Amino acid sequence: MESSFDKNALFANLNDIFLDLLPESLSWMAYLGTGLTIILIMVNAVLMLTAFGTYMERRVLGRFQTRLGPNRVGPFGLLQPLADLLKLITKEDLRPESADKITFFLAPVLMVTSMLVVVAVVPFGKDSFLADLNIGVLYLVGIPTIATVSMFLGGWGSGNRFALLGAARAVAMLISYEVPMIVSLAGILILAGSMSLVDVVQAQQIPFILLQPIAFFVFLVSASAEMNRSPFDLMEAESELTAGFHTEFSGMRFGLLQLAEFGEVVVTSAILATLFLRGWENPFIPADWQQVLPPQLWLIGKMLFFMLIFTWIRATLPRMRIDQVMAFAWKVLFPLALINMFVTAALVVAWPDPTYTQLWIMVGVNWAVAIGCLTGYTLSRGRHRQKPTESVRLVQIPAEVN
């Protein structure tokens, strides 16, 4: 294992503190202690953000719908997550008789685990992260596949035919959307030259949201689909499949699934902030306002921004049907991601080490390609729609009938 002490000053400092505290024979525990402390901080941060994120989402969703959100439980309803938690804990934990014990137990556990494990790679500052894997970006897209498996196991283990069907539909959607997600990140990898998240953040002289608009759009939509979030939340379409794979889960098991779902929103916002908006630095072009806020607060601010964007999309768009969802993934998002990858690769081959102005030219080219794709898609759909009116002809009815 590469030494964690080189780039990770936080790790090194905490390790020194632990080494001072422990006697000489137990010095191996310093490594363990340091790791566990950082894990504690990060997991707590994510869980706290998730809990208050659910509150914030309900309030903001209410304001998008010109109503107030929950405002009764504490001052301004701030204790609403606590009330939800208490309600879920005190509910009866039903388990259907035909349910598979181990699968039923494991599915929520795997979902929460796969959500929490991703946050280990996200850098909260220049040297405060848990692990800077040199394959960080691939790790980010690889771990949610475990969530996919656990969703299917949950649907199977419920012993309910409708849950299984809902789970199968959801898994089909999820594995279809993994492909555009990974290919859209290829453009970023080509530009950054490395898969390590710290390197990606530091390679962004211009934030990648400007340099790679197509990749941003594709990743945003694919990540929404991966999280089962509107407009892709056919899992929770109660009128269709009685709540899909989490029909039979009740009480705290259901609470864990909801935690995993909203935790994925938080973690995906963190990923989006790191990959597209320059992580812990300020995203605006003149980079000399860095010392205005500490880097952790920059990252959390960007995470909140993306969480608001997800809530905004949820408030606006209706649910898509499963066939529309699949068609969109394979026919629209995947070609877009491929086009983005080719354009980026061509630009990087032309200018392997771009200067600042050349980067701005790249921005222009990328946006031109994006608008070109949008126009092309519009025209292709428009031509499809104009056909019926052309095929209507006036038929001359003969005046006399013999």
Partner 1 sequence: MTGGIEESGIFTAIWWVIATLTVAAALLVVFLQDLVKAAMGLIGTFLGIAGLFVMLNAEFLAVVQILVYAGAVSILLIFGIMMIRDTQRGSQANSLRIPAFALGAVLVGIITFVVLDTQWNLLGEAMLTAAVQAGVEEAFSDSPPVLGGLLLREFVLPLEAAALLLTATLVGAIALVKGE
Partner 2 sequence: MPFGLGIAKGMMVTLRNLARKPVTVQYPEQRVTQNPRFRGEDFVWYEERCTGCASCAKYCPQGIIKIVTSPSGEQTQEGEKYKLETFDIEIARCMFCGLCVEACPYDALHMGTGFERAMPRKSDLVITVDELRASAKRPSTWFRPQLQDRGYDPASGEEVSWQDAGREATVAPTYDDMLKRWVEKR
The residue ranges that bind partner 1 (CB under 8 A) are: 1-3, 28, 31-32, 100, 102-103, 106, 133-135, 138-139, 141-143, 145-146, 148-149, 152-153, 156-157, 164, 168, 171, 175, 178, 195
Residue tagged 């706290």 (tokens): 48
Q: How far is the CB of 32 from partner 2 (least distance, A)?
A: 47
Q: Does 87 bind partner 2 (CB under 8 A)?
A: no
Considering beta carbons, is residue 317 or 350 the nearer one to partner 2?
Answer: 317
> Which residue, 118, 115, 95, 97, is CA-closest to 105?
95
- E strand or H helix that includes residue 254: helix 252-276
- Options 138, 146, 313, 365; binder of partner 2; rule CB under 8 A: 313
* Residue 65 found at the interface with partner 2 (CB under 8 A): yes
Q: Please, which residue, 40 or 374, has the CB nearer to partner 2?
A: 374
User: Which CA distances in Å does 7 have to 28, 94, 152?
Assistant: 20, 48, 39
Is residue 331 involved in binding partner 2 (CB under 8 A)? no
The answer to whether the peptide bond before residue 286 is cis (omega within 30 degrees of 0) is: no
CB of 365 to partner 2, least distance (A): 20
Give φ, ψ of 137 to 5 degrees.
Answer: -65, -40
**Binding string, residues 367-396; x marks residues near partner 2 by CB under 8 A:** -------xx-xx--xx--------------
Nearer to partner 2, 151 or 223 (CB): 223
| Cβ atoms < 10 Å from Cβ of 105 | 14
Asked if 342 is part of the footprint of partner 2 (rule: CB under 8 A), the reply reads no
Q: Is the dihedral of CA 302, 304, 307, 313 positive or negative?
A: negative
Q: Rounded to an integer, what distance in angstroms lies between the CA atom of residue 206 and that of residue 219?
A: 18
Min CB(57)–partner 1 separation in Å: 28
Q: Name the burial class of residue 347, with classes exposed (0-12), middle (13-18) and buried (19+) by CB atoms within 10 angstroms of its CB.
A: buried
What residues line the site for partner 2 (CB under 8 A)?
Answer: 62-68, 312-313, 315-317, 374-375, 377-378, 381-382
